[in-house]
Structures are given as C-alpha cells and as structure tokens.
C-alpha cells in the first residue's frame, strides 16, 4: 500500500522549463534551512502511477514528510516575500519609464522653444554631468536622480573681450591712393628745439614782443579809466588793470630767477673746466640772490616801498599766529 501523501494548498504559478529558474529564499521561520523548490509539472494521479522505481518513491515520501512538518505561517511568509520582490521590481520599472518619459518630453519642449538642431541640443543638455541626447537615453537606466535642467544663460561679464559675429558685413572699400594726412605741430614740443639747453628760453625770446603789447594796453586802459564817470565801469577797469600788472610782475620775477640760475651755471661750468667740484644752489640761496638782483634795479624810494610792504605782511602774519587775548573780569 502506497504511503499517504500530504497535500498542501498553495497558489504557485507553474514555471516553464525553457525559462530561467526562479528561486525564493526563506528567512527567519524556515525549518533547518530547507529550501523549497517547485518543479514544473502537474501533480496528477497519472504521474504517480508511472513511477515504478522504489528509490524514487522513498525520496518523494521523505520530501513530503519534511514539507508536512513546515508550518503554514512559514509558507505564508515565503509567499509574501516573493510577492513583494515581484511588486518592487515592477514599481522600479514603472518609475524608470516615467522618468525617461519626462526627460524625452523636456527635450522636445526645449527644441521647440529654441529651434536648435539635435546636435546643438545634445551639447547643451547635461544629465548627471554628461551630455545627453535622444540616443543617450537608455530604457534600462538605473538612475534615480531627477532630470537636470538646461544650463541657464548667464549675464555677460564686463571684463570679457569684445566678440564680433562672423556674419558681420565687411566693407568693400579699399584705400587705393594714400593721401597726405594733415598733421598739427606744436613748436614747444618740436624736435627742432631739442638743441636748447633750457626749454622755454627760445620761446620767451621769440615772443618777447608780447610784453610791449601788454604794456601799451595797460596804458590805454588807464586813459579810459580817467575819462570814465560810471563807478561800475571804473571798478571793472581797475580790476582788469590790476590783474594785468600782477601778471607782468610775476613774469618779470620768473625772468630774474632764470637769469640768476643761468649766471650761476655759467660760473660753475668754468670752475668744472678748471677741475673743481660743481656747487648746486639751494632754494634759500637762490631766493636770496634773486632778491638782491631785484633791489639792484630799483631806486631808493622804490626799495623803501618794497621793504615797507614786506614788513606789513610779516606783521599781519604775526598777528594771525598770536592767540586771542582772554577776557578778564575785574
């Protein structure tokens, strides 16, 4: 009499022999680490009758006894784990397909907006640090990161060099005959005057006639001042005459200073030719020599007036430097 079989009711999908075998591992409640394997085929009465070998029947009986000792809770847990794995795999596939669809839609939208070719868009769109086009999007991509945006246009730096488009129209005009250009020349900086030892000496001599014009103009203004009765016009004439006279006096003072410097250089030049060391004037000594030269060309009364003016200026300076007297209550 054949041993009784233990029939277990399980919702198991039959697996085709031609497909790859699918295995599930039992965790926690599995008894003695026994792996449950399912063979493709129907458990029918006809297959049992065809098994005539005694060894095979004994092995089946041992397997059935082991399966009979497994609790239904362990079988339910194994079935749930297999279902979760299949469901997780389908969810991941759906999520990847959704991301790829979003990427393709984004690429099409960018091409429509900018009107760029496929190659240009591939060079601008970057996904995860690499250039991506339609060919670069793989259906089996495992990336979980969101699609990256197109590089936003940045403001042009003010330090960037000027860029000229290659489509800029170039003029077709050409210079056939070279015409002489008009050049302006300033005699003060001309190379012809480079031989002068002191710049400005030749110019002063060349334009010395202007001093005579200014002197005659001052005399004419003084004559107009005497014949004018309007007080406002008199004030304006006095101001103009005073400015012109001050200008002439400052000009004469500069000429005296230059004359003293030239004379000193001539003397030192002869001394150097004799083998002596040159002596350079200090500013205080130059000022003193200029003052002596100024007094030499004056008369006695003019010299007294100059000295008196200088004394008054010094007195005014001393008064400004003195502290104010404090108020003392008696």
**Residue-range domain boundaries for the chain:** 198-320
Mean local confidence (pLDDT), 134-151: 47
Q: Give the least confident one: 127-141, 207-221, 259-273.
A: 127-141
pTM score: 0.38
Q: Exposed/middle/buried for 293, CB within 10 Å: 0-12, 13-18, 19+?
A: middle
**Secondary structure of residue 127 in the 3-state scheme:** strand
Phi-psi sector, 200: left (phi>0), alpha (psi -120 to 50), beta: left
Q: Read off the DSSP letter of residue 280.
A: P
What local confidence, expressed as pLDDT, does residue 235 receive?
A: 93
What local confidence, expressed as pLDDT, does residue 89 receive?
A: 56
Q: Are 280 and 261 in contact (CB under 8 A)?
A: no
What local confidence, expressed as pLDDT, does residue 282 receive?
A: 92
What local confidence, expressed as pLDDT, does residue 248 receive?
A: 92
Mean local confidence (pLDDT), 220-238: 92
pLDDT at 265 > cutoff 70 = yes
What local confidence, expressed as pLDDT, does residue 153 receive?
A: 64
What DSSP string runs through 314-327? HHHHHHHHSPPPPP
Mean local confidence (pLDDT), 253-274: 91
Q: Are 134 and 118 in contact (CB under 8 A)?
A: yes
Q: How far apart are CA 77 and CA 118, in angstroms?
A: 52
pLDDT at 284 > cutoff 60 = yes
pLDDT at 120 > cutoff 60 = no
The count of residues in the chain is 330
Q: Are 225 and 237 in contact (CB under 8 A)?
A: yes
Extended strands (E) in the chain: 126-127, 130-131
What local confidence, expressed as pLDDT, does residue 44 receive?
A: 41
pLDDT confidence bin for 90, thresholds 50/70/90: low
Long-range contacts of 38-45 (CB under 8 A, 24+ apart): 38/12, 40/14, 40/15, 40/16, 41/14
Runs of H (alpha helix) within the chain: 45-50, 54-69, 72-114, 118-124, 201-206, 209-227, 231-273, 283-296, 300-321
pLDDT confidence bin for 311, thresholds 50/70/90: very high
- The torsion angles phi and psi of 130, rounded to 5 degrees, stand at -125, 155
Nearest to 134 by CA among 146, 150, 122: 122
Q: Are 256 and 250 in contact (CB under 8 A)?
A: no
Mean local confidence (pLDDT), 122-150: 48
Share of the chain above pLDDT 70, in %: 61
Mean local confidence (pLDDT), 269-277: 92
What local confidence, expressed as pLDDT, does residue 162 receive?
A: 87
Residue 261 CB contacts under 8 Å (≥ 6 apart), including other chains: 281, 286
Q: How far apart are CA 258 and CA 17, in angstroms?
A: 121
pLDDT at 277 > cutoff 70 = yes
Q: How far apart are CA 129 and CA 151, in angstroms?
A: 11
Q: How far apart are CA 247 and CA 213, in angstroms?
A: 13
Q: Give the least confident one: 208-217, 248-257, 317-326.
A: 317-326
**Secondary structure of residue 132 in the 3-state scheme:** coil
Mean local confidence (pLDDT), 233-245: 94
What local confidence, expressed as pLDDT, does residue 38 receive?
A: 39
pLDDT at 131 > cutoff 70 = no
Mean local confidence (pLDDT), 309-320: 91
Q: How far apart are CA 164 and CA 202, in angstroms?
A: 52
């Amino acid at each position: 009499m054949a041993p009784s079989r233990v029939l277990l009711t399980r919702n198991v999908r039959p697996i085709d022999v031609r497909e790859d075998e699918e295995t599930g591992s039992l965790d926690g409640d599995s008894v003695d680490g026994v792996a449950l394997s399912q063979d493709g085929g129907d458990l029918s009465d006809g297959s049992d009758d065809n098994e005539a070998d005694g060894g095979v029947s004994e092995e089946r009986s041992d397997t059935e006894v082991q399966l009979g000792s497994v609790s239904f809770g362990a079988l339910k847990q194994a079935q749930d784990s297999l279902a979760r794995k299949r469901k997780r795999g389908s969810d991941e596939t759906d999520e990847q397909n959704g991301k790829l669809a979003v990427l393709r839609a984004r690429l099409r939208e960018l091409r429509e907006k900018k009107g760029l070719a496929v190659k240009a868009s591939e060079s601008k769109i970057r996904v995860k640090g690499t250039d991506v086009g339609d060919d670069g999007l793989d259906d089996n991509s495992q990336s979980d990161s969101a699609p990256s945006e197109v590089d936003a246009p940045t403001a042009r730096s003010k330090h960037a060099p000027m860029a000229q488009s290659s489509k800029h129209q170039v003029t077709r005009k050409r210079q056939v005959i070279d015409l002489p250009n008009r050049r302006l020349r300033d005699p003060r900086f001309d190379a012809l005057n480079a031989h002068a030892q002191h710049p400005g000496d030749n110019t002063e001599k060349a334009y010395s006639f202007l001093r005579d014009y200014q002197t005659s103009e001052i005399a004419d203004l003084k004559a107009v001042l005497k014949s004018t009765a309007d007080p406002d016009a008199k004030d304006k004439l006095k101001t103009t005459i005073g400015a012109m006279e001050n200008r002439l006096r400052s000009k004469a003072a500069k000429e005296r200073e230059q004359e003293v410097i030239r004379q000193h250089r001539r003397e030192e030049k002869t001394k150097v030719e004799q083998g002596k060391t040159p002596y350079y004037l200090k500013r205080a000594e130059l000022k003193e020599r200029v003052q002596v030269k100024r007094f030499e060309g004056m008369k006695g009364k003019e010299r007294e007036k100059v000295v008196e003016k200088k004394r008054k200026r010094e007195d005014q300076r001393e008064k400004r430097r003195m502290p104010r007297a404090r108020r003392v209550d008696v």
